[in-house]
């Protein structure tokens, strides 16, 4: 488990918390006579810790997003698929304590088990070192990674693919204005779908403004 601590960037004062976080109910049931407990209670706590840290991050970094968009973004960040990616980054599967049947049935690779264990580990860190320690891990492995994905995403291509699900759709980007001095000019672009404006964006270049307009348009079409 020391290698897992190195991956997390956190050393436990109470190693039993980490051990508990890695204990699946199947293992706990087989070792009940030893007083072994599963990670289910830690999973419950970790879900709340993760949700709170993520909500706080989104609230502070996206002051213009409405409540509905904040809720959907948080849900995407803390979903099972996202947590499985974290589990893989940690190599968490090899550390799990599983019952014989669950282990033989491929439990170490089961998405639900991996995702639950991630939440349990976050709770263990929270109990052992406080919210600041948990926040650092969540920031590194969930929030920063998602920010990097967003920066690298081609929203114009994504929007084109979205509207092409129906034939005869026409997208058009229009430069509607610019402001500021030449060395720090801000461009404003609107994107139209079949003549109706569905998104607007600003940027320090026309390309950046178009990407931001496409991003806004995707949000409009997916969550009208």
pLDDT tens per residue across span 197-214: 999 999 888 988 898 899
CA–CA–CA angle 108, 39, 70 (5° rounding): 90
Is the pLDDT at 66 greater than 70? The verdict is yes
Average pLDDT over residues 130-138: 97
Going by the annotation, the residues of the binding site for Mg(2+) are 43, 116, 119
Report pTM.
0.69
Extract the tokens encoding 122.
């976050």
- 19 catalytically annotated: no
Q: What is the rounded (10 degree) CA torsion for 160, 162, 164, 170?
A: -50
pLDDT in tens, 90-132: 999 999 999 999 999 999 999 999 999 999 999 999 999 999 9
- Average pLDDT estimate for 28-34: 90
Give the tens place of pLDDT for each residue, 169-184: 999 999 999 998 887 7
Please report the pLDDT score of residue 51 as a whole number.
96
The span from the CA of 161 to the CA of 218, in Å, is: 10
Model pLDDT, residue 41: 98
Distance CA 155, CA 173 (A): 13
Q: Is 154 a catalytic residue?
A: no
Q: How far apart are the first and last CA of the chain?
A: 47
Q: Domains of the chain (ranges plus CATH)?
A: 2-152 (1.10.1520.10), 155-222 (3.30.160.20)
Q: CA 13, CA 18: separation in Å to the nearest integer?
A: 10
Q: What is the pLDDT of residue 38?
A: 97
Q: Give the residue numbers of the binding site.
A: 43, 116, 119
Catalytic annotation, pick one of 5, 14, 19, 47: 47
Q: Where are the beta strands (DSSP E) in 19-107?
A: none
Supply the pLDDT for residue 224: 64
Catalytic-labelled residue, pool 102, 119, 128, 190: 119
Distance of CA 73 to CAs 22, 69, 136, Å? Answer: 28, 6, 20
Is pLDDT of 152 > 60?
A: no
Range scoring the smallest mean pLDDT among 21-30, 32-41, 127-136 = 32-41
| CA separation for the pair 17, 87 (Å, rounded) | 17
């Amino acid at each position: 488990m020391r290698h897992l601590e190195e991956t997390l960037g956190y050393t436990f004062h109470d190693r039993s918390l980490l051990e508990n976080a890695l204990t699946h109910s199947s293992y706990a049931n087989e070792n009940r006579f030893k007083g072994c407990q599963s990670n289910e209670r830690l999973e419950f706590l970790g879900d709340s810790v993760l949700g709170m840290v993520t909500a706080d991050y989104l609230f502070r970094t996206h002051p213009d997003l409405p409540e509905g968009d904040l809720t959907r973004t948080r849900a995407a960040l803390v979903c099972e698929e996202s947590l499985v990616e974290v589990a893989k980054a940690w190599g968490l599967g090899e550390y799990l304590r599983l019952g014989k049947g669950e282990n033989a049935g491929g439990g170490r690779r089961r998405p639900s088990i991996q995702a639950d264990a991630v939440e349990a580990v976050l709770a263990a860190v929270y109990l052992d070192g406080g919210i600041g320690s948990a926040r650092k891990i969540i920031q590194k492995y969930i929030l920063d990674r998602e920010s990097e994905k967003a920066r690298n995403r081609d929203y114009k291509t994504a929007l084109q693919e979205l509207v092409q699900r129906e034939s005869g759709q026409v997208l058009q980007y229009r430069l509607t204005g610019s402001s500021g001095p030449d060395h720090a000019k801000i461009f404003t672009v609107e994107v139209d779908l079949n003549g109706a404006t569905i998104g607007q964006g600003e940027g320090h270049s026309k390309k950046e403004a178009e990407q931001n307009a496409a991003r806004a348009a995707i949000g409009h079409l997916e969550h009208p």
